[in-house]
């Protein structure tokens, strides 16, 4: 339609400049004045023949006709660069990865559909340009002809392939690059930075999307979200994301080898919707758990490979330690303790000031712990993975302790949570302390009490509804209903306004008075939460015994507090299951006992895969990131990969070591997220000045491709006065004023 109205494709207008007037402007103005003078005189003379209002309408329409005529007389031009035929090459990248062998209609593979649509286009392009045909999967290679396509291969190095091809053809005059693909990028390089890097080559990339955007008759286990480490003997909570085009019942199963650890019946809604489901997995004894998580539906599927994912958990008896300091006896303290319970694998130390001279300790394993009240030394404080401070005034801490709390978050990477209370937050004079810097809120500056004993309901914000650990149910409707059904909390506190970058997860549900209640932000290496109440205990006392909302809230909150907390030496990989990825990036962070970065450390990784093949890698120091080290190891043979890390400050110093396990599989990645990733293809095209094409519109590609300022071009001036749009306007306006006059009876 665009090209019909404007004579040239949109790409031409996008790349070119419109010159509105190409004739002598003075002459044009004189003509315009003359024409409008005639029009004015005509209007004046006709006043007696027609009411003024109607006459004015007709005159305006006639004036618009004159404007269009003048625009045509101005002879506008479109100045642009057009590829010079025969001087340029057009690169073509055809996706030959395994996902292109999938069939969306049950008859033809994606590759077959793509070649059928693209072949005539390539033939037309060959008339004007040198067409260089390439295929890509895990790497890029030249293709002799479109009939000479190799068998499907593992991997889809989409971004990496484009970059590699453009780099290798730097010496060639390239008019455009055409990518025929389903948009899968198994190298995980689809970042904004990678796309921007491609755009810097200045070559328009036209992307041709292949494959259905919702894979028909398919259920896919899209993601498994479980921790990498956990203590033994607990029920571990996690989430599973399932994307399905099939509706109906299905079962999520978690296996440890062949033993089923847990199952969950679910109902899939279909239509390609991604649903998240909570799962609970018993961690069992200490050791390594190579879990298989699967979704098993009752319907026939075309692709069952994507129904299963692996996840590796190291079960370690190293219990994470949490300190909860409470400045006065209150029910919230009791019910938090009950909710966390002894079964959560957390060493939960609580320190409660019962009277002016008494601190009451609970959960300690050694009588020397917290004997003198609040931790006095940095080392003692930093030994905790998370710290909760209840209704405790800042004046209860020394300046050194407040400084240490700030460093605890920023340097040690601990999680800190402040609760509301009579002596909490603003009422506890936390504003102005070093801890206020790390809080996700600006505490209110007021002498009036901000803590109120008033029962109010709580509701999750939009961000809260998207936060997995705040979900009480799998589907949004039930989840919101569960939140709405919770009783009011016993009290609340004005926490202040959220800082830029902070996220409000819960708010007080009062008409016209919604106020933040649970706010979080990262600060330095740590995470900080503010929960402006000491009254969630009503969720326990006011709900039936069998309701677990209160317990779930606090248990998941505790898992969230502990989830990102690193130890002194931490090793990590991006994930625990690698499919079709030849290299695995590993990271290490090494701190001394004061949790200060230890740059001088030497960090070695010894890797052994299931075939017994070994490799040793010394990690590199990351410039500008003290204490950080990284490197890459080969993913090796299929199966488990054990990585033993050893870090030492000096050759003679104590070695701190640890192990990580990941799983590696080949030939599976292509079957996950197999729907056409149109968003990525569109983004690449937009960023580079190209255009996204669907297979049924691809015949227009050669015409659009010509308007490019890449390669060898020639400057052209294309007339615009004769655009069909101009004539249609002339016709329409003239006809309108004529029809109006006829309708009013003046013809």
Partner 1 sequence: MPQVAQTVMAADPLEAVAWRWSILRDFAGAARSRCRRDKSRDVVVQQVARLSASASARTNGQLNIAVLTHLIGVAALFTGADLRVMRTGALTLLLLLVSVAALAQFDGRRSPFGRRMHTNPAATAGTPQAEFNFTRLIYSGNSMDDMGRGFGGWGSWRTDWPEAEQHLIQGIRRLTLVETADDGQIVQLFDDALFDFPMLYAVEVGRMELSQAEADRLREYLLRGGFLMVDDFHGSLQWRNFDLQMRRVFPDREIVEIDEADEVMHVMFDLNKKMQIAGIFALQFGVTFEQDGVTPHWRGIYDDDGRLMVAINFNMDLGDAWEHADWPEYPEPMTAMAYRFGVNYLIYAMTH
Can you give the binding site for partner 1, defined by CB under 8 A? Answer: 327-331, 333-335, 337-338, 341-342, 352-356, 358, 360, 362, 422, 453, 455, 490, 537-538, 540-545
* Nearest-5° Cα angle at 428, 422 to 434: 150
Q: Which is nearer to partner 1, 278 or 423 (CB)?
A: 423
Least Å distance between CB 391 and partner 1?
9
d(CA 351, CA 345): 19
Q: Which is nearer to partner 1, 542 or 736 (CB)?
A: 542
Q: Which is nearer to partner 1, 174 or 490 (CB)?
A: 490
Please provide residue 53's backbone torsions phi and psi, each rounded to the nearest 5 degrees: -60, -50
The helix (H) or strand (E) run that includes residue 480 is: helix 476-485
Least Å distance between CB 374 and partner 1?
15
Nearest in space to 236 (alpha carbons), one of 175, 180, 316: 316
Least Å distance between CB 540 and partner 1?
6
Least Å distance between CB 261 and partner 1?
25
d(CA 572, CA 588): 6
Least Å distance between CB 414 and partner 1?
25
* Matching residue, tokens 């990248």: 93
Q: How far is CA 677 from CA 40, 207, 270, 523, 691, in A?
A: 59, 11, 18, 34, 15
Least Å distance between CB 394 and partner 1?
16
Q: Which is nearer to partner 1, 288 or 455 (CB)?
A: 455
Q: Which is nearer to partner 1, 289 or 538 (CB)?
A: 538
Q: How far is CA 327 from CA 264, 356, 362, 531, in A?
A: 42, 10, 14, 16
* 3-class DSSP string for 518-583: EEEEEECCEEEEEECCCCCCHHHHCCCCCCCHHHHHHHHHHHHHHCCCCCCEEEEECCCEEECCCE
Q: Which is nearer to partner 1, 341 or 732 (CB)?
A: 341
The helix (H) or strand (E) run that includes residue 510 is: none
Q: Which is nearer to partner 1, 453 or 714 (CB)?
A: 453
Give exposure, 70-100, as e/b (b: 16+ Cβ within 10 Å): bbbbbbbbbebbbbbeeebbbbbbbbbbbbb
Least Å distance between CB 317 and partner 1?
22
5, 724 Cβ separation under 8 angstroms: yes
Least Å distance between CB 419 and partner 1?
13
Q: Which is nearer to partner 1, 333 or 595 (CB)?
A: 333
Angle between helices 549-562 and 331-340 (to 10 degrees): 80
Token pair for 433: 């302390």
Least Å distance between CB 405 and partner 1?
22
Nearest in space to 458 (alpha carbons), one of 497, 513, 415: 513
Q: Which is nearer to partner 1, 329 or 724 (CB)?
A: 329
């Amino acid at each position: 339609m665009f090209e019909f109205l404007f004579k040239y494709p949109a790409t031409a207008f996008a790349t070119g400049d419109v010159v509105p007037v190409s004739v002598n402007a003075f002459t044009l103005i004189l003509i315009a004045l003359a024409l409008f003078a005639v029009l004015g005189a005509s209007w004046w003379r006709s006043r007696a023949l027609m009411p003024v209002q109607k006459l004015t309408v007709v005159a305006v329409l006639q004036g618009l006709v004159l404007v269009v005529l003048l625009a045509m007389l101005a002879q506008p031009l479109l100045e642009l660069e057009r590829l010079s035929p025969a001087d340029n090459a057009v690169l073509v990248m055809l996706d030959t990865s395994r996902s292109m062998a999938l069939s969306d209609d049950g008859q033809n593979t994606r590759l077959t559909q793509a070649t059928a649509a693209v072949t005539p286009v390539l033939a037309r392009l060959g008339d004007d340009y040198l067409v260089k045909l390439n295929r890509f999967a895990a790497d890029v290679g030249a293709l002799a002809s479109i009939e000479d396509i190799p068998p499907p291969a593992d991997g889809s190095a989409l971004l990496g392939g484009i970059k590699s091809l453009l780099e290798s053809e730097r010496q060639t005059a390239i008019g455009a690059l055409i990518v025929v693909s389903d948009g899968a990028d198994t190298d995980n390089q689809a970042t904004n930075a990678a796309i921007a890097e491609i755009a810097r080559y200045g070559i328009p990339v036209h992307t041709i999307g292949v494959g259905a955007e919702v894979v028909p008759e398919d259920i896919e286990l899209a993601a498994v979200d479980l921790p990498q480490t956990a203590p033994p003997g607990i029920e571990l909570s996690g989430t599973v994301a399932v994307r399905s085009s099939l509706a109906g019942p299905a079962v999520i199963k978690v296996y440890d080898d062949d033993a089923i650890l847990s199952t969950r019946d679910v109902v899939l809604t279909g239509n390609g919707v991604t649903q998240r489901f909570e799962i609970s997995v018993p961690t069992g004894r200490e050791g390594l758990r190579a879990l298989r998580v699967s979704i098993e539906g009752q319907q026939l599927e075309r692709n069952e490979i994507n129904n299963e994912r692996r996840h590796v958990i190291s079960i370690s008896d190293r219990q994470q330690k949490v300190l909860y300091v409470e400045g006065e006896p209150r029910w919230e303290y009791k019910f938090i303790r009950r909710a966390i319970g002894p079964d959560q694998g957390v060493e939960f130390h609580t320190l409660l000031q019962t009277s002016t001279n008494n601190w009451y300790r609970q959960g300690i394993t050694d009588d020397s712990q917290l004997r003198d009240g609040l931790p006095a030394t940095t080392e003692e404080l930093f030994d905790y993975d998370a710290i909760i401070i209840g209704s405790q005034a800042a004046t209860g801490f020394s300046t050194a302790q407040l400084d240490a709390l700030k460093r605890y978050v920023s340097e040690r990477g601990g999680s800190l949570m402040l609760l509301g209370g009579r002596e909490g937050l603003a009422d506890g004079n936390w504003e102005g302390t070093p801890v206020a810097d790390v809080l996700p809120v600006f505490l209110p500056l007021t002498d009036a009490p901000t803590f109120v004993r008033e029962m109010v309901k709580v509701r999750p914000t939009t961000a809260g509804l998207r936060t997995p650990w705040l979900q009480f149910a799998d589907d949004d409707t039930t989840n919101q209903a569960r939140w709405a059904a919770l009783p009011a909390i016993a009290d609340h506190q004005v926490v202040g306004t959220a800082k830029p970058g902070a996220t409000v997860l819960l708010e007080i549900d009062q008409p016209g008075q919604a106020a933040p209640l649970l706010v979080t932000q990262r600060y330095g290496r740590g995470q900080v939460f503010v929960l402006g109440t000491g009254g969630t205990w009503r969720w326990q006392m006011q709900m039936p015994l069998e309701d677990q909302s209160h317990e779930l809230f606090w248990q998941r909150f505790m898992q969230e507090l502990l989830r990102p907390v690193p130890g002194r030496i931490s090793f990590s990989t991006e994930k625990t299951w690698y499919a079709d990825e030849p290299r695995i990036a590993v990271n290490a962070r090494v701190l001394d006992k004061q949790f200060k970065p230890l740059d001088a450390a030497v960090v070695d990784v010894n890797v052994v895969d299931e075939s017994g093949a070994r490799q040793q890698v010394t990690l590199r120091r990351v410039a500008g990131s003290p204490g950080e080290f990284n490197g890459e190891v080969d993913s090796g043979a299929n199966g488990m990969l054990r990585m033993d890390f050893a870090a030492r400050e000096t050759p003679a110093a104590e070695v701190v070591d640890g192990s990580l396990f990941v799983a590696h599989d080949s030939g599976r990645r292509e079957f996950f997220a197999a729907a056409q990733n149109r968003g990525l293809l569109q983004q690449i095209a937009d960023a580079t000045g190209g255009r996204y094409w669907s297979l049924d519109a691809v015949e227009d590609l050669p015409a659009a491709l010509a308007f490019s300022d890449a390669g060898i071009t020639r400057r052209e001036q294309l007339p615009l006065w004769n655009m069909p749009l101009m004539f249609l306007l002339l016709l329409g306006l003239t006809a309108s004023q004529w029809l109006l006059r006829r309708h009013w009876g003046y013809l």
